[in-house]
Amino acid sequence: MDGDRVEIDGGVMEGGGQILRVSTALSCLLGLPLRVRRIRAGRSQPGLRPQHLSGLEMIRDLCDGQLEGGAIGSTEITFTPGKIKGGTHIADTKTAGSVCLLIQVAMPCVLFAASPSELRLRGGTNAEMAPQIDYTVMVFKPIVEKFNLTFDCDIKRRGYYPQGGGEVIVRMSPVKQLSPINLTERGTVTKIHGRAFVAGALPIKLAKDMASAAVRCIRKEIRDLYVNIQTVREADNQAFGTGSGIIIVAETSTGCLFAGSALGKRGKNSDRVGIEAAEMLLGNLRHGGAVDDYLQDQLIIFMALANGVSRVKSGPITLHTQTAIHFAEQLTKAKFTVTKSEDEDSTKDTYLIECQGMGMINSNV
C-alpha cells in the first residue's frame, strides 16, 4: 500500500498551506493515498497551523479517511482517503484561521459526494492572509458557479483576528460533472460597489473614512462611474470581537468581477485602509485579464476537474497559481498551458491559462 502513496513536497514553490489544500482535496477526490513532507517549509512557523489541521480533519471526516501526523507543528502527514459522503461536516479552527480557506479545501470534494452537504465552518471570516468572506460571496461564488455548480453561503457570525469566533454555513448539492469555463473577454467596467465595515468597539466613522478615501482614490482613475460603498456597523449578535475593513468590487459588461480589499488594524489610519483596497482594485483592472489576482489560483482545481477545455485570461501568473497548476498536474490527468496573451494591446501584461480538464465524473449521481 505504502508503495502507491503519492509523495508531495510541501516545501516547493509557494511552500505554504495551499499545497496541502490542493493535494488533499485531489487525494480525497481521486482516492489517492498521499504523503506530504516538509509542510509549510517556506514559512516562519513551519508545519501545520490550526486552520490547516482543521481543514485536514474535515477532509478526513468527509471521506472516512485516515490521517497520520495530524498535529499542530507537524511537518509530515500521511492521508488515506475513503469514500466521500454528504451530510453535515463541522470544522472549527478555534482561532482566526480563515473559514474561506476551509471552503477552498472542502468544496471540490463535496461536489462529488453522494448526497447534499452542509459545511459548518468556524474561525475568522475577515482575517489577514486569506480572502475575506465578502470576497468569497461577492466574487468567488458567482464566477465558480460558471463551472455548473451552485452553493449557498450563510454568514451566521463574523469573526476577526485574533480570536476568530465567526461561523459560516455552506450548503451544496453534488454535481454529475463540472463544465469547463471560458473567461477571456474582460469587457468594460459598468459598476463599482463595496462595503466598509466596523464591528465591536469601533465607531462607524472609521467605516465612513475608509469608504470616502477609497472613492477619492478610484475617482482619480475612473471618473465616469458612481462608486457605491455602503458603510455598516455589524450587529453585535452577528459579529464576535472587534474588527474593521473594506471590500470594493468592480463588475464588467461581460460579467467579470474584480476586487480590492483591506483590513483595519490598531495604529493603521482608516484612510490608508481605504486607499489600499482601492489601489488593489485598480491594479487588478489595469492588467487587462478577466479575473483578479486572487481568483486565479482558486479556479485551478475546478479547471483540472472539469470535462473539457477551460480558458482563463489573467494578469501576471501568481506563485499561488503556478503552485496549484503544478500539483493539479501531478495528481490528475489534467494538462495546463500558460501563454503570454498576444492580443490587440501588447502594453498589457496578460496571460491565457488553458486546461484540458480530466472530466471527473460523480458515479453517485
Residues annotated in a binding site for ATP: 104, 294-298
Give catalytic status of residue 320 as yes or no: yes
How many whole angstroms separate alpha carbon 90 and alpha carbon 11?
A: 28
**Side-chain half-sphere exposure of 333, counting CA atoms within 13 A:** 6
For 35-86, the DSSP string reads EEESTTTTSSS-S--HHHHHHHHHHHHHTT-EEES-STT---EEEE------
| Half-sphere CA count of 215, side-chain side, radius 13 A | 18
Q: 166-172 and 117-123: which strand pairing? A: antiparallel
What b/e string do you get for 62-98 counting C-beta neighbours within 10 Å, with b at 16 or more?
bbebebebbeeebbebbbbbeebbbeebebbbebbbb
DSSP state of 124: B
Edge-to-edge strand ranges of the sheet holding 239-240: 87-92, 117-123, 166-172, 151-159, 239-240
| Buried residues in 268-278 as b, exposed as e (16+ CB within 10 A) | eebbebbbbbb
Quick one: three-class SS letters along 128-193? CCCCCHHHHHHHHHHHHHHHCCCEEEEEEEEEECCCECEEEEEEECCCCCCCCCEECCCCCEEEEE
| Per annotation, catalytic residue among 52, 89, 287, 320 | 320
Peptide bond into 162 cis (omega under 30): yes
Catalytic residues: 320
